[in-house]
Amino acid sequence: MNMTRKFSAVFYWSILSGSTLLVCSFLGIILWDIFSKGFSSISWQFIASFPKEGMTKGGILPAIAGTFILTIITTLFAVPFGVACAIYLNEYATPGPLNNLIRASIRNLAGIPSIIYGLFGLALFVQSLKLGTSILSAGLTLGLLTLPYIITTTEEALKRIPNSLREATLALGATQAETIRDVVLPLAVPGILTGIILSVSRAAGETAPILFTGAAFYINSISPSLHQEFMALPYHLYMLSTQHTSIEKVRPLAYGTATILIALVFALNFTAIYIRNKSRKSI
Amino acid sequence: MSTQIRERLDNTFRLIFQSSGLLTILLLGGILFMLLYNSLHFFSITSFTDFFFKASWDPDEQYGFIPLLISTLLVSLGAMLLAVPLGILSAAFLSELAPRRVQAFLKPVIELLAAIPSVAVGFLGIVLIGPAIAKVFGLQNGLNALNGSVLLAVMSLPTIITISEDAINAVPKAHKEASLALGADHWQTMFKVTIPSAMPGLIAAVMLGLGRALGETMTVLMATGNASAIPKSFLDSVRTITATIAIEMGEVPYQTRHYFALFAIAAILFLISLIINLTGEFFANRIRKYHA
């Protein structure tokens, strides 16, 4: 009896830890496969030059620049709205049907598949507002996609600020807006920033919403115009791995692009994790 | 600054914040309106019976929705078959067995797994999982439903693990200890005490994971081969709702029947993921209430 019990405990331990190990190994396999094959394609020339000879040679500079500008547009659009909405929910809103409706909307928005945001961006920005397929349309579409995420993380950051601080400020005669500006927001900055960086990292890797709102297979110059089509890293990876006429030939370039994309997303995530750990210690 | 100006500023800011709150309702309303308006257009020129009973999706000829629906469900449910046991066992490990240090290491690992862009996961489906499946099953290529399921399982694992872990953590320790003290072993405790009491949370975890799998576009677009016939097995190529929209929307002329058709299938996708997310939400709220 004792033996079977001991055996069952060992079995329990090994199945559970084995499952976890398997999950971790997925991350390991993904990173190993992509990085080990991608690093050899990466050079200064790969990062800093345009694609050449029908994409079979050259680099991915326009895709890097496109993703960079795209995420800036997304951030400029989504952060003010998202933070303002979170401030409303946490600092002003009183329980009631309107409040419930707003919260329900945000939860639903967070669950909508990203391709539907792509359709919405196409119908609203590209067609109705006549912005055309452009980096602006795509950036705004990604902005809508990240909005619920920014609202949720910002609200969580605001919740962590103790109420006594707000009450003290209000008691000293500050208005509510002043309290938020001078006390609540400055203290919540690390939390809000963490959320913003994670949202940006998500937006930078998204492909489906930009498929028909402005991403292009190839552009021959980087222009500062917001009304032009653009190249982006995730879309470039998709094109190189499925749509190119000589897929085997461009495989090293696809690996290189995947490496840069994942490195970018991870760099953003590590920054966010670092800020979060640091601010948790200080509060 | 005079008090009057300060008060006016205060009111202005309140209005700004409030209107951003209302904007979210407007955004959801806008998405609903777009889907509904365009689908109604589609159904005014196509009959429901054609949409639901024609056996294939051939734009400009017939718009049979069933192959797309079956493909979507097949890939997502396959993903859940793989991800749910693995996710729940891992969550149990994290909450019951893992020492703090191991936990502190595993949490960021799971976050990073969730952070990998879907297009990179799809790329691996092409270069790694596809050839492996082709070799094991002796197929010409490995771009099929199984490939999509494996990838979607990996992508939904972080969601499932995180929410299941919260659910398992919420089961009072005393219950498990009581069970062990009465002579039940770890497995009996897990299946007869921990999992039943964590059930609402686990259902929420599965639902939200499923929601993520159903709505995923790039992975399935790249890894499942996109043949638009009704699949017979996991080794058949499939074409999901999301992949169909992604493939065809870029090429259809504005406001044609085909254009409206894509909005109609998007509306159905929206409805399915809404129902699944609401179910998940319902069960998640039940534990929240229970522990409040």
Q: pTM for this structure? A: 0.92
Residue among A105, A198, A212 minimizing CB distance to B250: A212
pLDDT at A152: 94
pLDDT at A283: 54
- Element (H or E) spanning B57, and its range? strand B57-58
pLDDT at A132: 87
Nearest residue in chain A measured CA to CA from B85: A19
List Cβ<8 Å contacts ≥24 apart for A21-24. A22/B86, A22/B90, A23/B86, A23/B87, A23/B90, A23/B110, A23/B113, A23/B157, A23/B161, A24/B106, A24/B109
Residue A35 contacts B where some CB pair is shorter than 8 Å:
no
Residue among B21, B94, B157 minimizing CB distance to A89: B21
**Distance (Å) from the alpha carbon of A99 to chain B's nearest alpha carbon:** 9
Q: Which residues contact B175 (CB under 8 A, 6 or more apart)?
A: B193, B194, B197
Q: Which amino acid is at A34?
A: I
Residue A48 contacts B where some CB pair is shorter than 8 Å:
no
Q: How far is CA A114 from the centre of its chain?
A: 12
CB A190 within 8 A of CB A279: yes
* B273 phi, psi to nearest 5 deg: -70, -30
Nearest residue in chain A measured CA to CA from B157: A23
Q: Which bin fits B116, alpha (ψ -120 to 50), beta or left (φ > 0)?
A: beta
Mean pLDDT of B31-54: 87
pLDDT at A6: 81
**What whole-number distance in Å separates Cα of residue B211 and Cα of residue A72?**
29
CB A260 within 8 A of CB A42: yes
Mean pLDDT of B85-97: 93
pLDDT above 60 for B56:
yes
Q: A146 contacts in B (CB within 8 Å)? A: none
Each residue's pLDDT tens digit, B131-154: 999 999 988 888 889 999 999 999
Nearest residue in chain A measured CA to CA from B218: A208
* Token duo for residue B88: 């729940």
For chain A, 283 residues long, the average pLDDT of each consecutive 10-residue run is: 78 90 94 92 83 76 91 94 94 89 91 94 91 92 95 93 92 91 92 92 92 83 80 91 80 91 94 86 61
**Distance (Å) from the alpha carbon of A123 to chain B's nearest alpha carbon:** 8
CB B183 within 8 A of CB B145: no
pLDDT at A218: 80
Complex ipTM above 0.85? yes
pLDDT at B53: 79
**What whole-number distance in Å separates Cα of residue B235 and Cα of residue B143?**
8
Q: A88 contacts in B (CB within 8 Å)? A: 17-18, 20-21
**Distance (Å) from the alpha carbon of B72 to chain A's nearest alpha carbon:** 13
Question: From the candidates B10, B26, B31, which should be mutated to test the interface with A, based on the most A CB atoms within 10 A?
Answer: B31
Q: For residue B85, name the pLDDT band (cuts at 50, 70, 90).
A: very high
Q: For residue B291, name the pLDDT band (cuts at 50, 70, 90).
A: low
Residue A43 contacts B where some CB pair is shorter than 8 Å:
no
Half-sphere exposure at residue B251, Cβ-oriented, CA atoms within 13 angstroms? 7
The residues facing A177 across adjacent strands are: none
Residue among B12, B27, B218 minimizing CB distance to A208: B218
pLDDT above 90 for B241:
yes
**What whole-number distance in Å separates Cα of residue A115 and Cα of residue A275?**
31
Each residue's pLDDT tens digit, B180-203: 899 888 888 888 999 999 999 999
Mean pLDDT of B224-239: 84
pLDDT at B218: 93
The residues facing A215 across adjacent strands are: A230
Q: A91 contacts in B (CB within 8 Å)? A: 17
Return residues 53-82 of B near A (CB < 8 Å): none
Classify residue B63 as exposed, middle or buried by CB count within 10 Å of its CB (0-12, 13-18, 19+). Answer: buried
* B6 phi, psi to nearest 5 deg: -60, -40
Yes or no, beta carbons of A92 and B14 under 8 Å apart? yes
Each residue's pLDDT tens digit, A154-185: 999 999 999 999 999 999 989 999 999 999 99
Return residues 92-121 of B near A (CB < 8 Å): 92-94, 96-98, 106, 108-113, 115-121
Neighbours of B23 (CB within 10 A): 18
CB A208 within 8 A of CB B246: yes
> How many beta-carbon pairs under 8 angstroms link A with B?
245
Each residue's pLDDT tens digit, A68-115: 999 999 999 999 999 999 999 999 988 889 988 999 999 999 999 999
